[in-house]
């Protein structure tokens, strides 16, 4: 049995909720994608939050979910991919994913989108939609992965969004998580997430209130170069600069 309810009266959120009578198939464990530096955890079979653009909501309408991740002190991450796990009804309704939009920000708070660090829209060849699990609610869960990125992030707290862009059909809901199978920090348990949508009238509203979903199944892929590697990169840049000055 599937129960939908609208959170718009408080924060413009649309979520899906399962009743206690719903039967779960937990025999298959979902996992983070290879090379994940942060993964907020597998779905908890409880609910999801609208994360979609140009689908059943109508062209030009969007709903974005943002969740936080930390680059530890003293580290620099070279981000090559970002992803989110979503309950999607595209196949059943004749829809498909045409592209994927993503963003990484800092300093997000209630009503404030913070400072944009990096963003983009990846078209064909720049994203993957991978089967992740049989899902719940009658929706299959897919991993939407923006690939081929090259972003350097120094230590700090960031907010990630990865949203599929459709062709006017179906719906997409980012899976809620309690942190099972997580990698890095935070681990699906701090409720520091936000929702922004022109369709639901939400302006970076905090989630996780009054039993609503508060942490979401997302991840970051990349590498952490050793300090010596950064030193060599810096030396190489310096030598190039010296050679250019000498040849000037």
Taking alpha carbons only, the member of 155, 136, 99, 154 closest to residue 217 is: 136
The H or E element spanning position 93 is helix 90-93
Taking alpha carbons only, the member of 171, 226, 194 closest to residue 52 is: 171
C-alpha distances in angstroms, 171 versus 55, 149, 211?
A: 6, 26, 22
Taking alpha carbons only, the member of 105, 149, 96, 153 closest to residue 126 is: 149
Average pLDDT over residues 222-247: 58
Q: What is the pLDDT of residue 11?
A: 35
Q: What is the pLDDT of residue 38?
A: 98
CB of 40 closer than 8 Å to CB of 218: yes
Task: Give the model confidence (pLDDT) of 161-201 as tens digits.
Answer: 999 999 999 999 999 999 999 999 999 889 999 999 999 99
Average pLDDT over residues 83-90: 94
Residues constituting the chain: 248
Task: Give the model confidence (pLDDT) of 89-141 as tens digits.
Answer: 887 788 899 999 999 999 999 999 999 999 999 999 999 999 988 878 888 99
Q: What is the pLDDT of residue 27?
A: 37
Residue 240 has pLDDT above 60, yes or no: no
Q: What is the pLDDT of residue 152?
A: 98
Task: Give the model confidence (pLDDT) of 25-41 as tens digits.
Answer: 333 445 899 999 999 99
Listed as own residue / partner, the contacts of 229-238 with beta carbons closer than 8 Å and 24 or more positions apart are 230/76
Q: What is the pLDDT of residue 234?
A: 52
Task: Give the model confidence (pLDDT) of 7-24 as tens digits.
Answer: 332 333 444 443 222 233
Between 137 and 65, whose confidence is greater?
65
Mean pLDDT of the residues in the chain: 83
| DSSP per residue, 181-214 | T-BSSS-S-S--EEEEETTTTEEEEE---TT---
Q: What is the pLDDT of residue 213?
A: 62
Please report where in the chains the tokens 């939609």 appear, as a residue: 129
How is residue 225 annotated by DSSP?
-
Residue 243 has pLDDT above 60, yes or no: no
Please report where in the chains the tokens 């009054």 appear, as a residue: 210
Residues 149 and 156: their CA atoms lie apart, in Å, by: 19
Taking alpha carbons only, the member of 32, 50, 48, 51 closest to residue 40 is: 32
């Amino acid at each position: 049995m599937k129960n939908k309810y609208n959170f718009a009266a408080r924060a413009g959120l649309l979520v899906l909720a399962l009743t206690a009578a719903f039967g779960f198939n937990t025999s298959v464990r979902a996992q983070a994608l290879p090379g994940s530096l942060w993964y907020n955890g597998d779905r908890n079979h409880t609910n999801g939050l609208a994360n979609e653009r140009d689908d059943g909501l109508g062209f030009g309408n969007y709903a974005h979910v943002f969740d936080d991740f930390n680059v530890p002190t003293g580290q620099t991450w070279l981000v090559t991919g970002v992803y989110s796990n979503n309950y999607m009804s595209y196949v059943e309704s004749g829809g498909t994913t045409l592209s994927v939009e993503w963003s990484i920000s800092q300093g997000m708070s209630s009503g404030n989108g913070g400072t944009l660090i990096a963003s983009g829209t990846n078209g064909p060849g720049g994203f993957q939609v991978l089967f992740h699990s049989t899902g719940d609610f009658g929706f299959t869960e897919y991993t939407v992965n923006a690939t081929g990125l090259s972003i350097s992030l120094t230590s700090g707290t960031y907010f990630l969004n990865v949203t599929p862009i459709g062709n006017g059909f179906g719906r997409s809901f980012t899976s809620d998580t309690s942190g099972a199978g997580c990698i890095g920090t935070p681990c699906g348990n701090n409720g520091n997430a936000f929702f922004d949508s022109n369709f639901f009238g939400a302006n970076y509203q905090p989630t996780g209130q009054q039993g609503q979903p508060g942490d979401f199944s997302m991840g970051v892929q990349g590498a952490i170069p050793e300090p010596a590697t950064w030193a060599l990169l810096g030396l190489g840049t310096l030598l190039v600069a010296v050679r250019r000055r000498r040849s000037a």
